[in-house]
Structure 1
């Protein structure tokens, strides 16, 4: 899916926001080559609590 987006569609970067507490998802995206872009503190309010969101990104390095 990543290769299709970069090679066929011409996407320049991909970005994902995941709950900071979701370590399995963070591990999956890092295994795919995504890098930490930052932390959005108290970005979402879910079930009566605020949650931090981790932003991860992957750049298409082919010029």
Structure 2
């Protein structure tokens, strides 16, 4: 599909509002998913490090007691 001007691209034959709205909603959804993924990864990494430190402390205490 070819357009004669940028205005025609924006209008999309009268369906521009729906087309650009769907693009906006899609990009927003992808952005939200990306942010959620990054937050979940950070939370998991933090929990993993805390568990590692906890196990190291327990191992040290166990060696001290033995």
Q: Which is helix-richer, 1 or 2?
A: 2
The two structures have a TM-score, normalised by structure 2, of 0.20
Greater relative CO (CA pairs within 8 A, separation 6+):
1
Q: Which is strand-richer, 1 or 2?
A: 1
